[in-house]
Structure 1
Amino acid sequence: MTNITEPARDWSAVAAAWDANVEEVDLLSFEATAALFDRVAVQPGDRVLELAAGPGTLGATWSQLVGPSGTVVLSDIAPGMVETAHRRNAVLDNVEVAVLDASAIDRPDGSFDVVACRMGLMFTPDPSAALAEIRRVLAPAGRVGALTWAGIEHNPWMTCVGIAAMMNGLVSGGPPVGPGSIFSLSNPVELESLVKGAGFLDVKVEEFAIAFRADDIDSHVDRVSSLAGPLAAAFEAATQEQHAAVRRTAAELAAQYITDDGVEIPGRAILVSGRV
């Protein structure tokens, strides 16, 4: 069995897979991402920090929004992701790419007008500490926006793969709801309280439906397992028999979402936003 550890290593290992698939994945969360941009209300001249930016696909959009007088820092804890983001954004003069840990952001107080994070805050071992750091590096009137996943029951796109992997011995440790896990910030009431507790004002929590589509369940399993850093290592180490067993189990768990046209499995994201 493979334990889910060392986030920087795990996410660096899937950087190439993200680079190859991220446009398709970004389309799935288009509505939620558009809302994130809207809530942080980037203005020309703003200084933007994106945490857990992965392969940096939002770099061009941030760059255009801040204009030539603004600056953008795309960051990730995983060096492999940062290398990919650098390649994607090398031609943008107002975009910097850096390895940064959301729990200890290596930038001075008040360095940014906007801090955004898509599907990364829940992976921090101490989200309160991460939010305190975000609050610290934001200037007066600064804005924050973060996307996380809603509860397990709302995200069968992930659970059908994760549970199948657990049932067939690829991973251990129970449902990923503890600190640093994918569903650790899935309660909207608790998330709102956490952000308010960090000192943010006008905190707003919203939810967005996301549909994961694939030609068949095998394609869905392959995509999820190749992109999910903590799972990817487990699938890499699995035998062919285990891979086949996971696909069979996932097909059983997701049977209600399989049609003659393929598979469409629902998901739900949470967007939390606020200001200093």
Structure 2
Amino acid sequence: MAEIKYNSTAAGGYDQGFARVSTHFIPYLLRAGRVAVGQRVLDIATGTGLIANAALAAVGPDGHVTAADLSPNMVDQARRRLGEVSNVAVRVEDGQALSFPDGSFDTVLCSLGLMFFPDPASGIGEFRRVLRRGGRVAVSVNTVPERSYNTRIHVMIARHVPSLAPAAARLFSLGDETRLRSLFENAGFEDIEISTHSHRFPVESFDAYFEHIERGWGSAGEAFVALPEALRHLIREQVRSDVGDRVGPIEIEVEFRFASGRK
């Protein structure tokens, strides 16, 4: 089965294409995780370090943040963002097989990463293992393709490239509230909370929206630019129809579901 990955172009362009979307939802994740001054926080699937940077500000100089991602390209981007601050560490980690000792962190955060895991239950189990007693895990996930910013494009590509269908479906596999809650319950979490938040992002035109995809930014862009030219044109027009382009400004509705639980 094809996997969704980030090459250097996809990782390097992530912030230009998607940072404003991710940044809007950061406060919801930090609140779900009860991030506070002095805590030790793990941000797994950190991407370019947006969540880790916000967590670093929340924990203050007496806290510590570890930013980790499976993609070395993303880790390079996170290092550039987080710099040489003494109370932050950036490293390559597999979220399903973390290298940290049991009980290492007060909070574990995972923004839009868990659905990429081949086995999300294994990932949640690892998050719990490295959490101290009484600590909290908080994750965010996509809900449905029609309320996503760019991951809807994976689904459209998969209609024409069947080998990508399982990976595309996985991006929305945790959006169901019942399944997400069960994942936390089966891992042994208590005080589980689920919330859903949405926002409509204005874009000046469809061309402006789709430009980042045509540049190969993000995982959707990486998948798109690898396609034959005729198929790229077809998918571009299908996306145009899907977002309701009427030649002028458009709005993209984005919805994330947040789940948290206490060890």
TM norm structure 2: 0.89
* 1:263 corresponds to 2:245: no
Cα pair 2:26 2:51 within 8 Å, conserved? no
What CA deviation, in whole Å up to 9, does each residue of 1:223-248 have, x standing for no partner?
3563442x333322223333222222
In the alignment, what sits opposite 1:25?
A: 21
Q: Name the counterpart of 1:147.
A: 140
1:166 Cα deviation (Å)?
4.0
* 2: CA distance, partners of 1:95 / 1:72: 5
Tell whether 2:91 aligns with 1:98.
Answer: yes
**Do the aligned residues in 2 keep the contact of 1:213 with 1:220 (CA within 8 Å)?**
no
Give the 3-state SS of the residue equivalent to 2:233 in structure 1.
helix
Counterpart of 2:178 (choices 189, 209, 234) is 189
> Which residue type is aligned with residue 91 of structure 1?
E
Spell out, residue by residue over 1:225-275, the C-alpha distance to the aligned partner (whole angstroms, 9 max, x if none). 63442x3333222233332222222222333xx356411122211000111
Of 49, 64, 76, 2:42 maps to 49
Matched, 1:86 2:73: no
Report the RMSD for the aligned CA atoms in angstroms: 2.4
Aligned residues: 262
| Comparing 53-62 and 186-195, the one that deviates more | 53-62
Post-superposition CA distance 1:79-111 (Å, at most 9, x none): 011011111111322111011111011100000
Q: Where do residues 25-174 of structure 1 align in structure 2 (5 Å cutoff)? A: 25-27=21-23, 30=24, 32-155=25-148, 158-159=151-152, 161-167=153-159, 169=160, 172-174=163-165
**By how many angstroms is 1:25 displaced?**
3.0
1:184-218 deviation per Cα after TM superposition (whole angstroms, max 9, x unaligned): 11111111011011011110111111324322223
User: What SS is found at the alignment partner of 1:58?
Assistant: helix
**Matches for 1:225-240 after TM superposition, within 5 Å:** 226-229=216-219, 231-240=220-229
Rounded to whole Å, the distance in 1 between the matches of 2:246 and 2:122 is 44
List runs of 5+ in structure 2 lacking aligned partners: none
Match for residue 209 of structure 1 among 198, 217, 220: 198
> Hey, what's the Cα distance between the residues in 2 that align with 1:83 and 1:177?
25
What residue identity is the alignment partner of 1:244?
H
Q: What's 2:2 paired with?
A: 4
* SS state at 1:43 partner: coil
